[in-house]
Chains A and B, each alone.
Chain A
Amino acid sequence: AQSVSQHNHHVILSEAASLELGCNYSYGGTVNLFWYVQYPGQHLQLLLKYFSGDPLVKGIKGFEAEFIKSKFSFNLRKPSVQWSDTAEYFCASRGQGRRALTFGSGTRLQVQP
C-alpha cells in the first residue's frame, strides 16, 4: 500500500525566511506527486505536480518542489515566505495510471509578520 509521510507537523517562520517542507512517499513503481495548499477555512488548491521529466517542478505563488527518486522524496520549497502563505500544506502521491490520491498528514505553516 502507498503511504506519504510529512515529518514536519507544524512550522513557524518569520516573513522572508526560506521554507522547505519534507515529503517522503512509499511506492515501488512510477509515481505521480502533488502538493496541495489549504488556506484557513478554504478547500484544497493545487500548488504543483510532478508526472515525469524535469525533477524540479515550479508551481504557483513562487513554490517549487524537487523529486529525488533515490530518496523517495518530493520536498516543497519557497525562498522567501509571506504572511499570506500561512496555511496547511499536503503532499500526495499516486501510482502512475492510477487516479486516487494518497495524502500525507499535512504540515501547518504559520508565518509571522
Chain B
Amino acid sequence: DAGVIQSPRHEVTEMGQEVTLRCKPISGHDYLFWYRQTMMRGLELLIYFNNNVPIDDSGMPEDRFSAKMPNASFSTLKIQPSEPRDSAVYFCASSGGLAGGPTDTQYFGPGTRLTVL
C-alpha cells in the first residue's frame, strides 16, 4: 500500500486566497483525521470522519476552515480566506478496524506545509 497520500506537499499563498489541501487515506480504512502542527500549539486534531461522515469538528478553528469527504478515498481541507496565522503543517491520518483491535492505529501522511504570506 502507498500509505496516506497528501497533496500538495508545499503550498505558498497570499493572505486572502483560498487554499485546498487533499488527502487519500489508506484503502480500507474507515476513519480519516486532519491535524495541524505548529510550533506554538503542537499537534492539534481539527476534524475526523468515519465512513465519510464528520464525527467531531470541534477542533476546526473557525468558519474559514471546512473539510469534506465525498467518498472513501478522498478528503479535502479548505481554508477560505487564508491568513498568515494559518501557516502550519497539516497532516492527514487514517485508521481502520475495530476500536482497540490490532489494526487500530493511525497512519500519517507526509503533511502539507502551508505558508500564508
Please give the residue numbers on chain A whose beta carbons come within 8 Å of chain B beta carbons, in ascending order: 32, 34, 36, 42-46, 49, 51-52, 90, 96-106
Contacts and interface: CB of A to CB of B under 8 A. Distances in A.
Interface residues of B, number: 23
Nearest to A103: B43
B28 to A, nearest CB: 16
B99 to A, nearest CB: 5
Nearest to B33: A100
Nearest to B106: A101
B54 interface: no
Contact of A43 (B45, B95, B105, B108): B108
12 contacts: A42-B110, A44-B91, A45-B108, A52-B100, A96-B99, A99-B33, A99-B95, A100-B33, A100-B48, A101-B45, A103-B42, A104-B42
B50 interface: yes
A34 B93 CA distance: 15
Contact of A106 (B42, B55, B93): B42
